[in-house]
Chain A
Amino acid sequence: MSPPILAIEDFSVVYRSPDGDVRAVQQVNLELYASEVVGLVGESGSGKSTLAYGACRLLRAPALITGGSVRYQGRRAAAPMEILRMQADDLRRLRWREIAIVFQSAMNALNPVLNVRDQLLDVIHAHLRMSRQDAQDKAASLLDLVGIPRARLRSYPHELSGGMRQRVMIAMALATDPEVVIMDEPTTALDVVVQRDILTQIVELKDRLGFAILFITHDLSLLLELADRIAVMYAGRLLEAGTAAEISGEPAHPYTRGLLHSFPSLRGARRDLAGIPGSPPDPQNLPPGCAFLPRCGYGTERCTSIDMSLAPVASSADPGHVTACPFVLPGTPPPAEPTSHPAAASAGADQ
């Protein structure tokens, strides 16, 4: 197997604050291979966007990368590059040309006083050397790519629907033919029909152009269909990672199991929906050991002292299926009493 196109190793980010550091991302390992879709799922505040932006060095103070490495090896690059030690010039060439980002909330990410053509031309001129005429042709062909009529080149963002704005964002990200596209909740503000259209289009473009996608979302039900591999993030750490089929069929970590029981399904028999009681911990006061313990039905005293490193799931055929919980395996039956651990009782509602 060829080496990963993007390898994040032991990566940590803190937000400095007068009351002490907030550990937003802690020792995360994540690899992205060419033309695959990796889904990164977690609740708001779990650190998933910080991880992705941090890996591209897009974070500003008070965020501080405290350790780890991010290696990029594109098909155009001769040797792997260490993003965390890159000079500003190289970094500018890397961003967008190699790694592009589709930002959250297309409603606000476009410039309201520029029309679609000018926004696309901005990107093209900033990152590619091209004549005016070629750039104009490129802008038009980018709209063709995402299925928006060329007449829309002269439209301003407010004249476009939410779905079209999101498509323009995707067209901008693809302007420079990047190898990696990071998508941060690209469909969150859209309704289901438009969401599905956009996802279908993303898959189509990926198959055609061969870029790899890191897809960030809080909606696991989307990822099960879309992603090849899924990483589950909670309170700054990965709790489980594996193929979409493993995560959906043989989830190991109690948090993943909770997420899988959190969305109502439209097809098949009605399932029992349990959800996950409580809410994520305060990142400034993370409990010792497993941060999910206060909400976990399986929790015991031992959980307060585990080291949270990912280990392969013993019963899984796939060595890439890893979990941070050493006690619960895919075969472990659900807990009889959901609040067996005293810490769970104090979790209450939305602590």
Chain B
Amino acid sequence: MSTPQPRSDEVRSVAAERGPLAIEAILLSKDFRLGRGQVLHAVRGVSVGLYRGAATALVGESGSGKTTAARLLAGQERLTSGSIRLDGNPVDLSSRRAFRQHKSKVQLVFQDPFSSLNPVHTVRHHLERPVKLHQGRKTSAEIAGETAALLEQVRLTPPGKFLPKFPHELSGGQRQRISFARALAARPEVLLADEPVSMLDVSIRLEMLGLLDDLRNRFQLALLYITHDIASARYFADEILVMYAGRIVERGPAEELTQHPAHPYTQLLVASAPDPDNLGNALRGGANDSRRRPESPGPAAAGCPFSPRCPFADDHCRAEDPALRRVSDVRAAACWHLDAAAPDVLAQPQGGGT
């Protein structure tokens, strides 16, 4: 099977209005060998640019490849094909030294604050180590000052109270703050946050996203926010990329994309979000949609991966995979039937939005 060639370069990223390009992924692909000759195409031909001071959301269901895409950007996985450019220079991860250099500019925050911190080490250890590794030679007084400042940046005050604590003595929200502080210790340009709030209580999520937003602003971070919750992406991202079966199926400005989704999969995501304004009957009668099946068929091996679940699918969709096509100045979608799926979006070719 050939890798599709997205022509997303024709589309301007709204995130670029915030600042210069920090990291750029060009046609990233990652295959995993499963044995018995089977290959899983986890990421296929994904191109994305992250800009300083801007938040880009990568939205998709579990197994869509969004975490793998982030791991590729972080240099944690070897690329099957494609390339990554950081500040305009090709990224090379062949040596330990090059890898560490990449890491000090590109940091990952993991989903689960209960397993991403080492239970036998204190908060002090978790923060001092990246400071020593990434910030060059420092006296112990400087390191102590730096760790205290990091805790203040993530609003864990007074720092002295938290430094000697072990992860099990902290709440979920506090642990995730430590994860943020640990990532910031490297003074990165790019922060890749993989579902940073999905393990936390709803009442705490907002505060954490607010903190992340504040850090993005303060340090001009290029932020990739990975989530399956498209509603939070609407509030916290400039641009949204929707991923399905390893590829980007739609991209565009957050508000426009969530209010007028073009791709049938994005439409399904939007329709699935809880709707507090529609009390009672919204859950009744939605079961007949062909996109909702108890055992939803996996992505198709040939043609458009969404075709087995798509109400608009025809033989063309099952035979040939659509590339990401320009819908407006700032939007693109990979679908053969946008005219049927999203006539309202096509009617505004210049992306007038809401």
Which residues does A use to contact B, with CB under 8 Å? 43-44, 146-149, 152, 162-164, 167, 191-197, 199-201, 203-204, 207, 218-222, 224-226, 244-245, 248, 258-260, 262-268, 270, 273-277, 279, 348-350
Scoring B residues 230 to 252 as 1 if CB is less than 8 Å from chain A, else 0, what string do you get? Answer: 11101110000000000000000
CA distance A220 to B276 in the complex (A): 9
**B-side contacts of A275, CB under 8 Å:** 203-207, 210
In the complex, chain A residues whose CB is within 8 Å of the CB of B339: none
Contact yes or no, A266 B230, CB < 8 A = yes
| B284 lies within 8 A of chain A by Cβ | yes
| With known contacts A225-B283, A244-B279, A266–B157 Cβ distance under 8 A | no
In the complex, the answer to whether B276 meets A265 with C-beta atoms within 8 Å is: yes
Q: Please determine whether A193 and B283 come into contact, CB atoms closer than 8 angstroms.
A: no
Contact A191 B274 (CB under 8 A): no
Q: What is the 8 Å Cβ interface bit string for chain B, positions 276-290, against chain A (1 contact, 0 not)?
A: 111110111011000
Is B231 within 8 A of A264, CB to CB?
A: yes
B294 with A164: CB separation less than 8 A:
yes
Asked if residues A192 and B172 are in contact (CB atoms below 8 Å), the reply is: no
What is the chain A residue whose CB lies nearest that of B261? A266
Whether, in the assembled complex, B272 has its beta carbon less than 8 Å from a beta carbon of chain A, the answer is yes
List residues of chain B with CB within 8 A of the CB of A264: 206, 231-232, 234-236
B123: shortest Cβ distance to chain A, in Å? 13
Contact A218 B273 (CB under 8 A): no
Q: How far is the CA of A274 from the CA of B278 in the complex (A)?
A: 22
Residues of A within 8 A of B282 (CB): 225
Having A146-B294, A276-B207, one finds 15 other A-B pairs with CB under 8 Å, namely: A162-B62, A192-B229, A199-B283, A200-B284, A222-B274, A226-B283, A248-B279, A263-B206, A263-B274, A266-B230, A266-B234, A276-B204, A279-B173, A349-B157, A350-B173
**Per-residue contact bits, chain B 165-177, to A (CB 8 Å; 1 contact, 0 not):** 0000001111001
Query: Is A219 touching B294 in the complex (CB atoms < 8 A)?
Result: no
Say yes or no for B340: interface residue by CB 8 A criterion.
no
Contact A267 B202 (CB under 8 A): no
Whether B206 pairs with A200 at a CB distance below 8 angstroms is: no
Cα of A61 to Cα of B127 in the assembled complex, Å: 39
Bound together, the chains give a CA A264 to CA B201 distance in angstroms of 14
- Residues of B with C-beta under 8 A to A348: 157
**Number of interface residues, chain B, beta carbon within 8 A:** 51
Q: What residues of A have a CB within 8 angstroms of the CB of B293 in the complex?
A: 147, 197
Q: Are B270 and A266 in contact (CB under 8 A)?
A: yes
Inter-chain contacts of B186 with A (CB < 8 A): none
Contact partner, B156, options A267, A277, A349, Cβ 8 Å: A349
The winner among A199, A221, A266 for most chain B CB atoms within 10 A is A266
**10 interchain residue pairs of minimum CB distance:** A147-B294, A275-B206, A191-B228, A196-B272, A221-B274, A224-B276, A264-B235, A266-B231, A349-B155, A266-B273
B276 with A221: CB separation less than 8 A: yes
**Known contacts A204-B287, A218-B203, A219-B274, A270 near B269 by CB under 8 Å:** no
Kindly list chain B residues whose C-beta atoms are within 8 Å of the C-beta of A266: 230-231, 234, 258, 270, 273, 275
Instruction: Flag if A191 contacts B231 (CB, 8 Å).
Output: no
Tell me whether A167 and B294 are in contact in the complex, defined as CB-CB below 8 angstroms, given that A221-B276, A224-B274, A259-B203 are known contacts.
yes
Q: Are B268 and A193 in contact (CB under 8 A)?
A: yes
Q: How far is the CA of A162 from the CA of B61 in the complex (A)?
A: 12
B residues near A167, Cβ cutoff 8 Å: 294
Task: A270 to B295: give the CA distance in the assembly, Å.
Answer: 34
Bound Cα distance A268, B274 (Å): 13
| Contact partner, A350, options B171, B202, B270, Cβ 8 Å | B171
Could you name 8 residue pairs across A and B whose Cβ atoms are closer than 8 Å? A195-B272, A197-B296, A200-B284, A200-B286, A204-B284, A225-B274, A263-B276, A265-B277
Also in contact, A225 and B276, with CB within 8 A (given A44-B201, A201-B287, A264-B235): yes
- Which among A194, A203, A225, A350 has the highest number of chain B CB atoms within 10 Å? A350
Residue B100 at the A interface, CB < 8 A? no
In the docked arrangement, what's the CA distance between A195 and B171, Å? 26
Contact A276 B203 (CB under 8 A): yes
Q: B292 within 8 Å of A by Cβ?
A: yes
Bound-state CA distance A200–B282 (Å) is 9
Q: Which residues of B contact A265 (CB under 8 A)?
A: 231, 275-277
Contacts of A350 in B (CB 8 A): 156, 171, 173-174, 177, 204
CB-CB nearest in chain B for A146: B294
Q: How far is the CB of B47 from chain A (nearest CB, A)?
A: 24
CB contacts (< 8 Å) of B236 on chain A: these are 264
Given the contacts A192-B273, A219-B202, A279 and B171 also touching, CB distance less than 8 Å = yes
Q: Which residues of A contact B230 (CB under 8 A)?
A: 192, 266
| Residue among A200, A226, A244, A262 having the largest count of chain B Cβ atoms under 10 Å | A200
Q: Are A220 and B275 in contact (CB under 8 A)?
A: no
Give CA–CA (A31, B109) in the complex, Å.
43
Residue from the set B174, B232, B273 with the largest chain A CB neighbour count within 10 Å: B273
Please give the distance in Å from A153's CB to the nearest CB on chain B: 13
Q: Which one of B157, B205, B270, B274 has the greatest number of beta carbons of chain A within 10 Å?
A: B274
Residues of B within 8 A of A273 (CB): 206, 235
Give Cα A258–Cα B204 distance, bound, in whole angstroms.
11
- B287 contact set on A, CB distance < 8 A: 197, 200-201, 204
Give the docked Cα–Cα distance between A146 and B287 (Å).
12
Which residue from A162, A164, A200 sits with its C-beta under 8 Å from B283? Answer: A200
| Chain A residues within an 8 Å CB radius of B204 | 43, 275-276, 279, 350
CB distance from A23 to the nearest CB of B (A): 19
User: A200 to chain B: which residues have CB within 8 Å?
Assistant: 283-284, 286-287, 292
**Separation of A274 and B177 alpha carbons in the complex (Å):** 19
Name the B residues within 8 Å of A276 (CB-CB): 203-204, 207
8 Å CB contacts to A: which residues of B143-198?
Answer: 155-157, 171-174, 177
Which residues of chain B are within 8 angstroms of A152 by Cβ–Cβ distance? 295
Residue of B nearest to A164 (CB): B295
Q: How far is the CB of B112 from chain A (nearest CB, A)?
A: 11
CB distance from A177 to the nearest CB of B (A): 21
Across the two chains, which residue of chain B brings its CB closest to A271? B235
